[in-house]
């Protein structure tokens, strides 16, 4: 059974940084693509970042240049480094795992989801 397990959310001031982690249990990270999505209160889920099996990366327009997705295959874990955080980044962040090797910006293309972690950015 494949299970992504998230960690690393919390409260941070505007301008600060946080790193989210997602450990994949039951599957090697380099066998498929992974992504991060977020959902703010009262809004639809939004694409944040994705990484393909060959390590090509993709970012949502609102986070490009501030967030970085990466992966450590030895630890079976992928990450979302978030810098220069803004209050509008406040949301529940979800990691997601896709069974195919190509990344996608569409949440319905992902097969396994983490439990979600709250990120709150204060002004």
Predicted local confidence at residue 56, as pLDDT: 97
Give the per-residue pLDDT at 73: 92
Is 70 strand, coil or helix?
strand
- Compute the distance between CA of residue 69 and CA of residue 1 in angstroms, rounded to an integer: 24
pLDDT tens, residue by residue, 89-116: 999 999 999 999 999 999 999 999 999 9
- In 7-110, where does DSSP find H-type helix? none
Q: Rounded to the nearest 5°, which phi and psi values hold at 109?
A: -85, -5
Q: Which two tokens stand for residue 31?
A: 């066998």
Q: What pLDDT score was predicted for residue 81?
A: 98
What confidence tens digit (pLDDT) does each residue in 26-72 have?
888 888 999 999 999 999 999 999 999 999 999 999 999 999 999 99
Question: What digits encode the pLDDT tens for the residues 26-39?
Answer: 888 888 999 999 99
18 DSSP β-pair partners: 82
User: Residues 60, 62, 68, CA angle at the centre, nearest 5°?
Assistant: 60
């Amino acid at each position: 059974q494949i299970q992504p397990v998230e960690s690393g959310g919390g409260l941070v001031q505007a301008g600060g940084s946080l790193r989210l982690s997602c450990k994949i249990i039951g599957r090697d990270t380099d066998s498929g693509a992974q992504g991060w999505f977020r959902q703010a209160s009262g809004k639809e889920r939004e694409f944040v970042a994705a990484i393909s099996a060959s390590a090509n990366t993709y970012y949502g327009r609102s986070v490009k240049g501030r967030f970085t997705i990466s992966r450590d295959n030895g630890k079976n874990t992928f990450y979302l480094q978030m810098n220069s955080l803004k209050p509008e980044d406040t949301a529940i962040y979800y990691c997601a795992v896709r069974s195919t090797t190509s990344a996608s910006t569409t949440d319905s293309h992902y097969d396994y989801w983490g439990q979600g972690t709250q990120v709150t950015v204060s002004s």
